[in-house]
Amino acid sequence: MLWPGQITKIKLGPRYAWHNNECTWVSVPKNANMMFRKFCTHIGMKRTVLSEPASTTVAVIRDPKTRLVSGICEYMRRKKRNIIERDITNALYSFYREPELFDEHLEPQHVWIHGLTITHYIKFENMLEDIVRVPYMNKHTNHFYKMVRVKRLTSSNRYIDLPGFVIKYSDLLDEFVEKFYQQDLDLYNNLRSYENKLIEIRKEDSSAEQ
């Protein structure tokens, strides 16, 4: 059965989190997951299938346009395709027409946290400052600062000049956000107002058959 709000047809399986009695971090693909997994493991949080979140529940949210391009590149890498500008734009057009053929890296961010009440959002592009707002994680910021390479996350990736691509194709990417990621954009632009509120899928954003 597909999750509420899905735009692909891939089976997402159980929802994973890193958790202990004090804090739960909910994994959202393409949002610094590898770094947060290492960090959370180091500070005593264990990977688990999410059932009952701790009183402090955390999620990282990223600019939808940048995340979309990063997700397309990840999809192409896994399919062993050339990752050059022309092929990325072709893949984007294919995704626009037939999103159901793609994978979890293109699913909206709110799909991964639907039905949850997130107490602390960390903005991907501002994680060094936002991490201190999370009481449990703030105890371990020295380790976080050592292991998180923000310039690597927010500049170019191994394939393309990510910021440059987003700027060049900004108008095109706006069309994708309008079609698939409106709720993500609203969440990204208003993170603090969404804290301590249940995340529900808006009807206009729920395009998958249940």
pLDDT of residue 205: 55
pLDDT of residue 122: 97
Average pLDDT by consecutive 10-residue portion of the chain (210 residues)? 92 92 96 93 95 96 96 90 87 96 96 97 94 95 81 62 93 97 98 97 57
pLDDT of residue 84: 84
pLDDT of residue 148: 74
Pinpoint the alpha helices (H) of 57-161.
64-78, 85-97, 109-113, 127-130, 135-138, 141-147, 150-154
Task: Give pLDDT tens digits for 120-156.
Answer: 999 999 998 999 999 999 999 998 888 776 666 655 5
Give φ, ψ of 184 to 5 degrees: -60, -45
How many separate helices (H) and strands (E) can be counted in the chain? 12, 5
- Cα separation of 51 and 108, whole Å? 21
SS3 label, residue 3: coil
SS3 label, residue 178: helix
- Cα separation of 65 and 77, whole Å? 19
User: Is the Cβ–Cβ distance between 49 and 163 less than 8 Å?
Assistant: no
pLDDT of residue 208: 44
Cβ neighbours for 18, distance < 8 A, ≥ 6 positions apart: 24, 25, 27, 36, 37, 40, 41, 45, 46, 47, 48
